[in-house]
Amino acid sequence: MVRTELDHLVVMAATLEAGVVWVRERLGVIVPLGGKHDKMATHNAVMALGSGVYFEIIAIDPEAPPPTKPRWFAFDDPTFRDRLERDGPRLAHWVVRSNDIDATLAKACVNLGVATAMSRGDLHWQIAIRPDGRLLEGGLIPTVIEWPTGPHPSERMSDLDVRLKQLTLRHPEPRRLADMLRSLDADGFVDIEPSSQGEPAIEARFSGPLGETILS
């Protein structure tokens, strides 16, 4: 049976240092460095959120040569990169894991790309990447990942006592978003609300050293 679960949240930043500072100021923790994604020329910092879920800060790696294909998470979109430079880091995306990524992608009603082998250090996984690197619906449609069998990688990450309490997606057409998420079996992990600003937005509520905090 194909199963889909919440895997991790993604904070995107113009630089990894800026992302780490932004999270420290809001959650009261310093997220440890993770490593480099050589194929995508990005690098990250990660922490566990408990219960098989983790938190990622990701940015372009300035020391890496540009990849031969568009980077994931819309990092090669000039408009999106300008926004990160201008407005600073933001909670921009989320990722779900499947125990059969090909089956999940096949039944999705949107084109999430193709399953691609990726690695970071000794971690290896399959992840759906679109050829253009785009994020769909402003990042509200999740990326799909499949990890090898065995312990989830979050068990190897630092646990800084931050816990995800609620994940909310706001969209101008909430019913259409819900239908798209339902085709991925990913509608049960989030609250979906109309967007008062008319644009897609992600909001996550956490508990942690600074009490309850909301990131968006």
Residue 117 burial by Cβ neighbours in a 10 Å radius (0-12, 13-18, 19+): exposed
List, run by run, the mean pLDDT of 10-residue segments along the chain (216 residues).
96 98 98 96 97 96 94 96 96 98 96 95 95 96 97 96 98 96 95 90 97 96
Task: Note the pLDDT of residue 198.
Answer: 81
Report yes or no on 168 lying in a domain.
no
Per-residue tokens: 15: 């630089």
Task: Note the pLDDT of residue 80.
Answer: 94
Task: Note the pLDDT of residue 67.
Answer: 93
- 208 - beta bridge partners? 211
Task: Note the pLDDT of residue 99.
Answer: 97
What is the C-alpha separation between 10 and 16, in angstroms, rounded?
Answer: 12
Is residue 201 within 8 Å of 170, Cβ to Cβ? yes
Beta strands at 33-37 and 42-50: parallel, antiparallel or unpaired: antiparallel
Task: Note the pLDDT of residue 47.
Answer: 98
Report yes or no on 15 lying in a domain.
yes
Report yes or no on 207 lying in a domain.
no
What is the C-alpha separation between 194 and 49, in angstroms, rounded?
Answer: 27
Task: Note the pLDDT of residue 196.
Answer: 79
Is residue 58 within 8 Å of 88, Cβ to Cβ? no
Report yes or no on 59 lying in a domain.
yes
User: Which of 62, 52, 63, 75 lies closest to 134, judged by CA?
Assistant: 75
pTM of the model: 0.97
Report yes or no on 92 lying in a domain.
yes
Range(s) of the domain holding residue 119: 4-158
Q: Residue 182: enclosing H or E segment and its boundaries?
A: helix 174-182
User: Looking at this protein, which amino acid is placed at residue 166?
Assistant: Q
User: Which of 82, 80, 56 lies closest to 70, judged by CA?
Assistant: 80
What is the C-alpha separation between 56 and 43, in angstroms, rounded?
Answer: 10
Give every CB contact of residue 30 below 8 A, 6+ residues apart in sequence. Answer: 20, 24
Task: Note the pLDDT of residue 29.
Answer: 98
Is residue 50 within 8 Å of 44, Cβ to Cβ? no
Report yes or no on 216 lying in a domain.
no
Report yes or no on 164 lying in a domain.
no
In total, how many domains does the chain have? 1
Is residue 171 within 8 Å of 190, Cβ to Cβ? no
User: Looking at this protein, which amino acid is placed at residue 115?
Assistant: A
Task: Output the domain CATH number for residue 54.
Answer: 3.10.180.10
